[in-house]
Amino acid sequence: MAKRLVIPGNLYDRVLAQCQEDWPKEACGIMTGHGEVVRRVYALPNAHPNPVSRYQIDPADQHRAMSGVLAGQEELVAIYHSHPSTPAYPSQTDIAMANYPQAIYLIISLAREVPEVAAFRIVQGHVTPVPVRRVGTLIGEWVDLR
Protein backbone atom coordinates (compact mmCIF):
# COMPACT_ATOMS: atom_id res chain seq x y z
CA MET A 1 0.00 0.00 0.00
CA ALA A 2 1.37 3.40 -1.02
CA LYS A 3 2.77 5.42 1.86
CA ARG A 4 2.72 8.69 -0.05
CA LEU A 5 1.32 10.24 -3.18
CA VAL A 6 3.70 11.35 -5.96
CA ILE A 7 2.18 13.73 -8.52
CA PRO A 8 3.95 14.96 -11.69
CA GLY A 9 4.41 18.73 -11.57
CA ASN A 10 2.30 19.48 -14.64
CA LEU A 11 -0.62 17.44 -13.28
CA TYR A 12 -0.39 18.91 -9.78
CA ASP A 13 -0.56 22.42 -11.23
CA ARG A 14 -3.37 21.50 -13.62
CA VAL A 15 -5.49 20.04 -10.81
CA LEU A 16 -5.10 23.25 -8.79
CA ALA A 17 -6.16 25.21 -11.88
CA GLN A 18 -9.21 22.94 -12.32
CA CYS A 19 -10.26 23.57 -8.73
CA GLN A 20 -10.10 27.30 -9.37
CA GLU A 21 -11.94 26.99 -12.70
CA ASP A 22 -14.75 24.94 -11.11
CA TRP A 23 -15.06 27.20 -8.06
CA PRO A 24 -17.50 27.79 -6.30
CA LYS A 25 -18.41 24.20 -7.15
CA GLU A 26 -16.37 21.30 -5.85
CA ALA A 27 -14.03 19.98 -8.53
CA CYS A 28 -13.38 16.24 -8.78
CA GLY A 29 -11.42 13.63 -10.66
CA ILE A 30 -9.49 10.38 -10.65
CA MET A 31 -5.73 9.75 -10.69
CA THR A 32 -4.33 6.53 -12.12
CA GLY A 33 -0.81 5.20 -12.36
CA HIS A 34 1.36 2.65 -10.62
CA GLY A 35 1.93 2.25 -6.90
CA GLU A 36 2.31 5.69 -5.36
CA VAL A 37 3.07 7.47 -8.65
CA VAL A 38 0.34 9.23 -10.61
CA ARG A 39 0.72 8.99 -14.41
CA ARG A 40 -2.69 10.20 -15.58
CA VAL A 41 -5.35 12.52 -14.22
CA TYR A 42 -8.96 12.42 -15.38
CA ALA A 43 -10.74 15.68 -14.58
CA LEU A 44 -14.45 14.90 -14.19
CA PRO A 45 -17.65 16.93 -13.96
CA ASN A 46 -19.27 17.16 -10.55
CA ALA A 47 -22.63 15.39 -11.00
CA HIS A 48 -24.01 16.17 -7.54
CA PRO A 49 -27.25 18.25 -7.50
CA ASN A 50 -25.68 20.42 -4.79
CA PRO A 51 -22.15 20.79 -6.26
CA VAL A 52 -21.17 23.72 -4.04
CA SER A 53 -20.91 21.50 -0.96
CA ARG A 54 -20.83 17.93 -2.29
CA TYR A 55 -19.34 16.02 -5.13
CA GLN A 56 -20.47 12.97 -7.03
CA ILE A 57 -18.83 11.18 -9.93
CA ASP A 58 -21.27 9.96 -12.56
CA PRO A 59 -20.90 6.16 -13.05
CA ALA A 60 -20.40 6.57 -16.82
CA ASP A 61 -17.61 9.13 -16.26
CA GLN A 62 -16.06 6.90 -13.63
CA HIS A 63 -16.13 3.98 -16.04
CA ARG A 64 -14.32 6.03 -18.72
CA ALA A 65 -11.71 7.22 -16.24
CA MET A 66 -11.21 3.69 -14.92
CA SER A 67 -10.95 2.01 -18.33
CA GLY A 68 -7.19 1.53 -18.00
CA VAL A 69 -7.63 0.26 -14.45
CA LEU A 70 -10.38 -2.17 -15.48
CA ALA A 71 -8.16 -3.40 -18.33
CA GLY A 72 -5.39 -4.10 -15.82
CA GLN A 73 -2.97 -1.60 -17.43
CA GLU A 74 -2.84 0.79 -14.50
CA GLU A 75 -4.01 1.18 -10.94
CA LEU A 76 -6.41 3.52 -9.23
CA VAL A 77 -4.01 5.72 -7.24
CA ALA A 78 -6.14 8.57 -5.95
CA ILE A 79 -9.55 10.20 -6.01
CA TYR A 80 -9.53 13.96 -5.61
CA HIS A 81 -11.97 16.75 -4.98
CA SER A 82 -11.87 20.35 -3.87
CA HIS A 83 -13.28 22.08 -0.82
CA PRO A 84 -14.22 25.55 -2.07
CA SER A 85 -14.58 27.06 1.42
CA THR A 86 -13.62 24.45 4.03
CA PRO A 87 -10.24 23.03 5.13
CA ALA A 88 -8.40 20.19 3.35
CA TYR A 89 -9.74 17.47 5.63
CA PRO A 90 -12.36 14.80 4.84
CA SER A 91 -15.91 15.78 5.79
CA GLN A 92 -18.21 13.33 7.54
CA THR A 93 -19.76 12.69 4.12
CA ASP A 94 -16.33 12.12 2.54
CA ILE A 95 -15.54 9.56 5.23
CA ALA A 96 -18.92 7.83 4.92
CA MET A 97 -18.65 7.68 1.11
CA ALA A 98 -15.03 6.49 0.92
CA ASN A 99 -15.53 3.15 -0.77
CA TYR A 100 -11.99 2.61 -2.07
CA PRO A 101 -9.68 1.63 0.82
CA GLN A 102 -6.83 1.02 -1.67
CA ALA A 103 -7.03 4.57 -3.04
CA ILE A 104 -5.71 7.80 -1.61
CA TYR A 105 -8.18 10.63 -1.14
CA LEU A 106 -6.69 13.96 -2.17
CA ILE A 107 -8.42 17.16 -1.06
CA ILE A 108 -7.61 20.63 -2.36
CA SER A 109 -8.92 23.46 -0.20
CA LEU A 110 -9.51 26.91 -1.64
CA ALA A 111 -10.67 28.30 1.69
CA ARG A 112 -7.60 30.53 1.91
CA GLU A 113 -5.75 32.58 -0.65
CA VAL A 114 -3.07 29.91 -1.06
CA PRO A 115 -4.56 26.49 -1.92
CA GLU A 116 -4.03 23.78 0.68
CA VAL A 117 -3.43 20.23 -0.57
CA ALA A 118 -3.69 17.18 1.68
CA ALA A 119 -4.05 13.45 1.12
CA PHE A 120 -5.55 10.70 3.25
CA ARG A 121 -6.27 7.05 3.32
CA ILE A 122 -9.80 6.36 4.57
CA VAL A 123 -10.45 2.80 5.71
CA GLN A 124 -13.64 1.87 7.56
CA GLY A 125 -14.04 5.37 8.94
CA HIS A 126 -10.41 5.75 9.97
CA VAL A 127 -8.60 8.71 8.40
CA THR A 128 -4.80 8.57 8.05
CA PRO A 129 -2.81 11.45 6.51
CA VAL A 130 -0.56 10.57 3.56
CA PRO A 131 2.28 12.89 2.42
CA VAL A 132 1.92 14.47 -1.04
CA ARG A 133 4.93 15.20 -3.25
CA ARG A 134 4.88 17.37 -6.36
CA VAL A 135 7.73 16.27 -8.63
CA GLY A 136 8.51 18.88 -11.27
CA THR A 137 10.68 16.53 -13.32
CA LEU A 138 7.82 14.08 -13.84
CA ILE A 139 5.31 14.71 -16.63
CA GLY A 140 1.91 13.00 -16.70
CA GLU A 141 -1.09 12.97 -19.00
CA TRP A 142 -4.05 15.26 -18.37
CA VAL A 143 -7.41 13.95 -19.59
CA ASP A 144 -10.20 16.49 -19.26
CA LEU A 145 -13.61 14.79 -19.31
CA ARG A 146 -15.53 17.79 -17.96
Q: Which residues bind Zn ion (CB under 5 A)?
A: 91, 94
Query: Minimum distance between the CB of residue 97 and Zn ion, rounded to whole angstroms?
Result: 9
Q: Select the residue whose beta carbon is closest to Zn ion and give its number.
A: 94
How far, in Å, CA of 42 to CA of 111, rounded?
23
Query: Which of residues 84 and 140 has its CB atom nearest to Zn ion in the complex?
Result: 84
Query: Minimum distance between the CB of residue 77 and Zn ion, rounded to whole angstroms?
Result: 18
How far, in Å, CA of 40 to CA of 27, rounded?
17
Query: Which of residues 87 and 136 has its CB atom nearest to Zn ion in the complex?
Result: 87
How far, in Å, CA of 20 to CA of 37, rounded?
24
Query: Which of residues 21 and 35 has its CB atom nearest to Zn ion in the complex?
Result: 21
Question: Which stretches of 19-124 are assigned E, i.e. beta strand?
Answer: 28-34, 37-44, 75-83, 104-109, 116-123
Query: Minimum distance between the CB of residue 57 and Zn ion, rounded to whole angstroms?
Result: 12
